[in-house]
Amino acid sequence: MRIGIAVGDLRRGVAAEELVRQVRSAAERGLSGVWSSQAFGWDALTALAVAGAQVPGIELGTAVVPVPQRHPLVLAGQALSVQAATGNRLTLGIGAGISMMVTDMYGLPADRPATRMREYLSILRPLLRGEAVSHQGDTLTAVGQVGVAGATPPPVLLAALAPAMLRLAGELADGTVTWMTGPQTLADHIVPSVTKAAEAAGRSAPRVVAGLLVSVTNDEQGVRNRVAEQFSLAGQVPEYRAVLDRERAAGPQDVVIVGTENQVERQIRRLEDAGVTDFFAAPFGGPEEQDRTIEVITALAEAEHHRS
């Protein structure tokens, strides 16, 4: 299992210099990749272009870019621009977005998410390959072509929790990327579903990238309380409520990886046993807590490197 780390706003609001420092630190520590989320701060793709252009050698992933507010022609141009700026190291993680935010914030439709995503991927993948598209469908119209010199098509991962999205992740994407999804759900639902879909489509084994909050601490309950407070929305929206219910978790506080060094290591190893191919940790807490967590993540990544 490859081990990476979240950078940018998921850890805390950062200036450009700190963002670059986080990516450089991850590369120097030998972590497999850095993963940038899309929320209400840094644009995830811009963040990776800014930092990745200054730090060579490490995978740069989005986890994830919601696509309803980005037309496939726009996203293809953005992704290929990042590829050109960073030596083709991008892994493009995309998702349907949280329906409440899509409708309330952007005034966009969020019904039939799997139907919309199937159409979106059928346009995006050819565009990333530099092919022209002429598509008039039920949910999208796209006519045009994108070309960026020196850019190659990035792998595409689809954020998927529901069965229909997991089938799409195996059939039309290169795998899936999850957030706040516990080990039992990964083992019993996510991994077998996306793997079966890839096999049925005659595709190679999919990547399963799992992201979770991680905190190495002697105050486990205190961390869980803070996670419950800071990430309370995730426990309420239907998209995350469904996957938390599968894990029999009351909220995000029940799927955080937390405890002493040995306890955290055992919990991360459980993800590998579940079939996760890539794990990225989002260190939680203040600077000292994050530093302690990063040391454990680094040691695990080194151990994985020696095993491979």
220-230 average pLDDT score: 96
Retrieve residue 38's tokens: 């899309």
What's the pLDDT band for 99 if we cut at 50, 70, 90?
A: confident
115-144 average pLDDT score: 98
Give the pLDDT score at 121.
98
Q: Which of 106, 36, 46, 41 is nearest to 71 (CA)?
A: 106
Lowest mean pLDDT segment, chosen from 46-55, 157-166, 252-261, 296-305: 296-305
236-264 average pLDDT score: 93
- What are the sequence ranges of the domains in the chain? 175-308
Q: Which of 16, 18, 30, 20 is nearest to 306 (CA)?
A: 30
Residue 13 above 80 pLDDT?
A: no
Give the pLDDT score at 15.
93
Fold category of 175-308 in CATH: TIM Barrel (3.20.20)
Q: What is this structure's pTM? A: 0.96
Tell me the torsion sign for CA atoms 295, 301, 305, 307.
positive
Task: Write the CA distances from 276 to 33, 37, 87, 91, integer angstroms.
Answer: 15, 19, 26, 16
d(CA 201, CA 203): 5
Summary mean pLDDT of the chain: 95
Q: Are 267 and 276 in contact (CB under 8 A)?
A: no
Task: Write the CA distances from 218 to 180, 224, 230, integer angstroms.
Answer: 22, 12, 20
d(CA 102, CA 1): 33
Give the pLDDT score at 305.
76
Higher pLDDT, 272 or 99: 272
State the DSSP string of the chain: -EEEEEEGGGTS---HHHHHHHHHHHHHTT-SEEEE--SSSS-HHHHHHHHHTTS-SSEEEES-EE-TTS-HHHHHHHHHHHHHHHTS-EEEEEE---HHHHHHHH----SSHHHHHHHHHHHHHHHHTT--EEEE-SS-EEEE----TT--PPPEEEE--SHHHHHHHHHTSSEEEEES--HHHIIIIIHHHHHHHHHHTT-PPPEEEEEEEEEE-S-HHHHHHHHHHHTGGGGTSHHHHHHHHHTT-SSGGGTSEEESHHHHHHHHHHHHHTT-SEEEEEE-SSHHHHHHHHHHHHHHHHHHHHH-
What's the pLDDT band for 237 if we cut at 50, 70, 90?
A: confident
What's the pLDDT band for 308 if we cut at 50, 70, 90?
A: low
Give the pLDDT score at 25.
97
Q: Are 211 and 161 in contact (CB under 8 A)?
A: no
Task: Write the CA distances from 224 to 7, 112, 176, 216, 246, integer angstroms.
Answer: 21, 34, 26, 12, 19
Q: Which residues contact 43 (CB under 8 A, 6 or more apart)?
A: none
8-25 average pLDDT score: 91
Question: Among residues of the chain, what percentage have pLDDT more than 70?
Answer: 100
